[in-house]
Chains A and B, each alone.
Chain A
Amino acid sequence: MIEEVFSIELPVGERLSIKKNRIQGNTENNRRIAIVSGIHGDEFEGQYICYEVARRLLENIDMLTGTVDIYPALNPLGLDMAERNVPGLDMDLNRLFPGNENGTTMERAAAAIVGDLAGADFCIDVHASDIFVKEIPQVRVSEDFAEKLLPYARLLNTDMVWMNATATVHEATLAHSMNMLGVPSLVVEMGVGTRIHRGYGDQVIEGIFHLMKELGIWNGEVGKVQYPVVSTDGEVEFIRSEMVGVFLPIIAHNHYVKKGDKLGAIVSPLEGRVLQEIRAEKSGLVFTLREYPFVREGSLLARILTGIEEE
């Protein structure tokens, strides 16, 4: 059943409406999981996951023993414009939680979202990467909630669980706010901005059904899930540009490299020469690789997960 979570009138002949699809099983189990996505308008990976989870549930509704709420577009205007932030307000919705019932439009939207999610037994916030770098499927967990969340994070069939990674798990985010309210919430990240990688999506969808089974919401068959690498910030090597130019990688994403291996080069199209060769300073898995070619000082080129061996 499609329900409206938040709705307001925009200035000229349009309503801003945040919707969810509530899919309920036939038993009296009150357990509820929420799958949310589209907080950042340039991240589309969650669209496939929301569609495919809903499709499978509806086709096998007799296997559903609880409630699944699917929110594919928490930032509808951003998704429409493929803009990361909330258009007009120019603020990151994922820095406005838990919101404010008396604040600006999106602060009120954030408060309504939190109010709707409150009381759920679990929440999965599906993100893609931004348009700049490509990521392998991973769960990001704040260290503050790691003890409680790690057993669930391992079930999501991702390649990696990154503890206390970036701001995506920090204060003012939806996941942090929900965890503070006692709703266990995980952030899943994969792919690259404005694209859908169906392989990654299928992998995470398997994990979501596995988690639902663990939570007693899903009674259907589930396949095996892989055991993710669990890493902390100390095991992640950041490789950043020190030059200005165009980055041309020569390795594939999700690829093992050895210390000293060449990862790519920063070149000058104007001068026709290589400005900087980029090499791995440590061995490990390239789990993040730059997609957006232009770089300047500090641009993230790659992240290597160290301390693991190639299988």
Chain B
Amino acid sequence: MFKEEIYTIHSPYREKMVIQSYRFGKGDPAACILGSVRGNEMQQMYICSQLVRILKDLEANGCINAGKSILVIPVVNGMGMNVGRRFFGVEDIDINRAFPGKKSGDTTDRIAAGIFEKIREYAYGIQLTSFYMSGEFVPHVRMMETGFQNVSLANLFGLPYVVVRKPTPIDTKTLNYNWQNKMTAAFSVYTNRNDSIDEKSARQALAAILRFLTRMGIIRYESHSGYISHVIMEEDLTDVNSTSAGIFKGLVEPGEDVRYGHVMAEVIDPYEGIVRETIKAPTDGIVFFAHKEALIAQGDIVYKLIHRLHE
């Protein structure tokens, strides 16, 4: 294992923020795995830290294949994490919307450019990330439809679902999008948590990454074959919206099979405690995304369903 500082940023009254990378194996830049880019992505950092621990053991046992190197970056926005901020600095800028970055640009542009310079050569790029809407997902691999995406490769993670998203303008500065534009096969891995640790889904994501690295001939690691992934286009997911606002009481969890008319949630009046709305499933399907905040505004998306799919 070779530990390297890939970018450092300073602050007047805090210690410098060092973005650390861990390199395993020697040879072609085969796979890069990036953990937490945002300051609330604790689960992502945890998964990456466990990956570093396992790859260290695998390397010691000669299980990194010859001529292949793996780079792992567990944390980017450490400063944000230490003060409970998702985005970077007083400017409050999302580093994951600053790629590919600019060396002579502003601070976040420089951070993104510094990272991207070190990771753009890798054949496979895996980012553990979070969605712009807060809530929980069924663990899945997500790809942007840039024209360079390779869905069959995403199946090799063996997670239950692969989601393909048509990029909108807000996506074009993400790492995933820019990685794919530089011909890295890029995948975003989503688990069901961000700012807390969920051991079960963390282990599932970790196993998926190790399975992928094994199947691409980068490491030797005996693991379960996982799922034959179900591929979903994001626009085919059925949104379930609230029609009123108040306290949100979710009654189904991501991964649950629901039938048309099944009661999925209640919206409760915050003053009088009465049920203002009962939210029912508009179709048969599997819950793919669930709102998890205690409160809900009128019209918000509370669930996303995989239409007419059963367990």
Residues in chain A within 8 A of chain B (CB atoms): 8-13, 16, 84-85, 89-91, 95-96, 102-105, 108, 130, 132, 170-172, 238, 240, 244-246, 268-270, 292, 294, 296-300
Would A172 and B169 be within 8 Å (CB), given that A8-B299, A16-B297, A104-B300 are in contact?
yes
A132–B89 CA distance with the chains assembled, in angstroms: 12
Which one of B90, B108, B244 contacts A9 once the chains associate, using CB atoms below 8 Å? Answer: B244
A11–B270 CA distance with the chains assembled, in angstroms: 8
Min CB distance A246 to B, Å, is 7
Min CB distance B88 to A, Å, is 11
Asked if A297 and B170 make an inter-chain contact with CB atoms under 8 angstroms apart, the answer reads: no
Asked if B105 and A298 make an inter-chain contact with CB atoms under 8 angstroms apart, the answer reads: yes
Would A240 and B12 be within 8 Å (CB), given that A11-B296, A11-B297 are in contact?
no
Asked if B11 and A85 make an inter-chain contact with CB atoms under 8 angstroms apart, the answer reads: no
Which one of B10, B13, B91, B245 contacts A11 once the chains associate, using CB atoms below 8 Å? Answer: B245
What is the interface of chain A mostly: helix, strand, loop, or mixed?
Answer: loop
A12–B271 CA distance with the chains assembled, in angstroms: 8
> Does B9 sit at the interface, judged by CB under 8 A?
yes
Q: Determine the chain A residues whose CB is within 8 A of the CB of B10 once the complex forms.
A: 244, 296-297
Shortest beta-carbon contacts, A-B, top 7: A172-B169, A11-B295, A9-B298, A298-B107, A9-B245, A171-B169, A244-B10
Q: Determine the chain B residues whose CB is within 8 A of the CB of A171 once the complex forms.
A: 169, 172
Asked if B106 and A90 make an inter-chain contact with CB atoms under 8 angstroms apart, the answer reads: no
Which one of A96, A105, A240 contacts B106 once the chains associate, using CB atoms below 8 Å? Answer: A240
> Does B117 sit at the interface, judged by CB under 8 A?
no
A16–B300 CA distance with the chains assembled, in angstroms: 13
A19–B21 CA distance with the chains assembled, in angstroms: 50
Number of interface residues of B (CB under 8 A): 39
Which one of B86, B107, B241, B295 contacts A12 once the chains associate, using CB atoms below 8 Å? Answer: B295
Which interface residue of B13, B90, B245 has the most chain A CB atoms within 10 A? B245
Fill in one digit per residue for B1-31: 1 if any A CB lies within 8 Å of its CB, else 0.
0000000011111000000000000000000
Q: Determine the chain A residues whose CB is within 8 A of the CB of B303 once the complex forms.
A: none
Q: Determine the chain A residues whose CB is within 8 A of the CB of B300 once the complex forms.
A: 104-105
Min CB distance B301 to A, Å, is 6
Asked if B86 and A90 make an inter-chain contact with CB atoms under 8 angstroms apart, the answer reads: yes
Asked if B106 and A246 make an inter-chain contact with CB atoms under 8 angstroms apart, the answer reads: no
Q: Determine the chain A residues whose CB is within 8 A of the CB of B11 once the complex forms.
A: 244, 296
User: Who on chain B is nearest to A294 by CB?
Assistant: B12
Min CB distance A75 to B, Å, is 15
User: Who on chain B is nearest to A108 by CB?
Assistant: B299
User: Who on chain B is nearest to A83 by CB?
Assistant: B92
Q: Determine the chain B residues whose CB is within 8 A of the CB of A90 once the complex forms.
A: 86-87
Q: Determine the chain A residues whose CB is within 8 A of the CB of B270 once the complex forms.
A: 11-13
Q: State which residues 92-108 of B face A: CB under 8 Å.
A: 92, 104-108
Which one of B12, B110, B133 contacts A298 once the chains associate, using CB atoms below 8 Å? Answer: B110
A103–B133 CA distance with the chains assembled, in angstroms: 10
Min CB distance A84 to B, Å, is 7
A76–B83 CA distance with the chains assembled, in angstroms: 27
Asked if B297 and A294 make an inter-chain contact with CB atoms under 8 angstroms apart, the answer reads: no
A104–B296 CA distance with the chains assembled, in angstroms: 11
Q: A105-B299, A172-B168 are in contact. List 12 more A-B contacts (CB 8 A).
A: A8-B297, A9-B297, A11-B246, A90-B86, A90-B87, A102-B239, A103-B301, A104-B133, A172-B170, A238-B104, A244-B10, A270-B13
Asked if B169 and A95 make an inter-chain contact with CB atoms under 8 angstroms apart, the answer reads: yes
Would A299 and B246 be within 8 Å (CB), given that A105-B297, A294-B12 are in contact?
no
Asked if B9 and A297 make an inter-chain contact with CB atoms under 8 angstroms apart, the answer reads: yes
Q: Give me 5 A-to-B residue pairs in the complex whose CB atoms sit less than 8 angstroms apart, sorted by A's number.
A: A8-B245, A9-B244, A9-B298, A105-B297, A240-B106
Which one of A85, A89, A245, A292 contacts B92 once the chains associate, using CB atoms below 8 Å? Answer: A85
> Does B266 sit at the interface, judged by CB under 8 A?
no
Would A91 and B132 be within 8 Å (CB), given that A12-B295, A13-B270 are in contact?
yes
